[in-house]
Amino acid sequence: MQVRKGCVTATVAAPAPDLTDDEWIEALRLRSDDALAALHRLLVRAARFEVGRRRAALPHLRGELLDDLAVQSADDALVALLAKLDDFRGDSRFTTWAYKFALLEAAVRLRRLAWQGREVPLESESWERLAAPGSSPERDVELRELLDALRAAIEEQLSERQRHVLVSTTIAGVPIDVLAERLDTTRGALYKTLHDARQKLRRRLAEQGFDVGAWT
């Protein structure tokens, strides 16, 4: 097996070795062809598993394209995993630790694929979801007051960027990876922005006497 930046080309078709966690780590540190090939198969399996779970949401995509996506995800996961090999602490089975790299790569690709060519909805369109219900029971009055206060807090308490991130991800349903790519940032950085925005909203609603905990 040859490993180069962002890509893996299999040159050895080795059977999957039945290795202990320590043996996996040792063999991978030595860049054993057999271990690399076995690991790649493991990662392809995980990426295909992720594709299978989401396939129903992507009916317009051909199976061949999705399988290519699974293999590309495994290629990138292998490179990412090898770079983090020394971080494996043995807190889980090696295979479980390895799977998460492939699942992440495949999930991000699939979310971006699902949003390819779609615009992030305008905030004004998303606001409609925060419209209060029109029926009259007492509980609806309470709900209407909370929704009104929440909408006002989003408008008045948040920075423009916080509002954009919060409305896009939590109201318009834009996946955070998709928004991160379009804003040229990372999922982690966007989640921090979202977290800070949520804290501001919670504080504001609490100041106004709302029992936010009862609703969340």
Partner 1 sequence: MSDERDLIRGVLGPQGPELTCEQCFEELDRYVELELAEDDPDVAVPGMRAHLDGCPACREEHDSLLALAERD
Q: What residue ranges bind partner 1 (CB under 8 A)?
A: 46, 49-50, 53, 87, 91-93, 95-97, 99-100, 103-104, 107-108, 111, 129-130, 133, 139-140, 143, 146-147, 150, 154, 166, 170-171, 175-177, 187-188, 191-192, 194-195, 198, 201-202, 205, 212-213, 215-216
Residue 72 Cβ vs partner 1, minimum distance, rounded to whole Å:
17
**Of 31 and 129, which CB lies nearer to partner 1 in the complex structure?**
129
Residue closer to partner 1, measured from CB, 4 or 91:
91
Q: How far is the CB of 2 from partner 1 (least distance, A)?
A: 27
- Tokens 């939590």 belong to residue: 170
Distance CA 112, CA 144 (A): 35
Q: Of 71 and 191, which has the nearer Cβ to partner 1?
A: 191
Closest CA to 165 of 177, 153, 151, 179: 179
Give 4 or 86: the residue with its C-beta nearer to partner 1. Answer: 86
CB of 179 to partner 1, least distance (A): 10
Q: What is the DSSP letter of 3?
A: E
Looking at the Cβ atoms of 36 and 210, the one nearer to partner 1 is 210
> Measured from the CB of residue 197, what is the shortest distance to partner 1 in angstroms?
9
Q: Which is nearer to partner 1, 9 or 96 (by Cβ)?
A: 96
From the CB of 34, what's the least distance to partner 1, in Å? 20
In the complex with partner 1, the residue whose CB is nearer, 87 or 119, is 87
Cα distance between residue 193 and residue 198, in whole Å: 9
Output the smallest distance, CB 5 to partner 1, in A: 22
Min dist CB 15 to partner 1, Å, is: 18
Cα–Cα distances in angstroms (integers) from residue 139 to residues 16, 151, 152, in the given order:
59, 18, 20
Give the integer Cα–Cα distance in Å for 170 and 127: 11
128, 71 contact by CB (below 8 A):
no
Query: Which amino acid is residue 11, in one-letter code?
Result: T
Q: How far is CA 195 from CA 168, 172, 179, in A?
A: 14, 17, 15
Please give the structure tokens belonging to residue 136.
């009259």
- Give the C-alpha separation, 19 to 38, whole Å: 10
51-89 burial: b if 16+ Cβ within 10 Å, else e: beeeeeeeeeeeeeebeebbbbbbbbbbbebbeeeeebe
